Amino acid sequence: MIYPINMKLNKKGAITSSTVESYAKSIVFIIVLLLMLAQLIPEGQTAGTSLNATGVPLGSLFTSSGVIWLILMAGVVFLFISSFMGKGK
């Protein structure tokens, strides 16, 4: 059986309960974060489009095709990757 590199194994080669617990917490956190973003991103894009229509400087950053949403999604991807990476020495 192949395990991810950062899984903690005890001396007998079995996965410890703390590893399973930490992965379960990470998966639940990811699901909650994705559900939250699925609700909030469209609202934020609509508000950004309304903000841009008023002529606010740099309001175009918050429109539906604005760079703010790309930065937010890149941050979420990095968060997902870092949640499953092992801690460095």
Token duo for residue 32: 């909650």
pLDDT of 1 = 45
Q: Is the pLDDT of residue 39 over 70?
A: yes
- The answer to whether the CB of 7 falls within 8 A of the CB of 87 is no
pTM passes above 0.75: no
In the chain, helix, strand, coil percent, each to 5?
Answer: 65, 0, 30
Q: What average pLDDT does the structure give for the chain? A: 82
- The answer to whether the CB of 7 falls within 8 A of the CB of 19 is yes
% of the chain exceeding 70 in pLDDT: 80
Q: Containing H/E element for 80?
A: helix 67-84
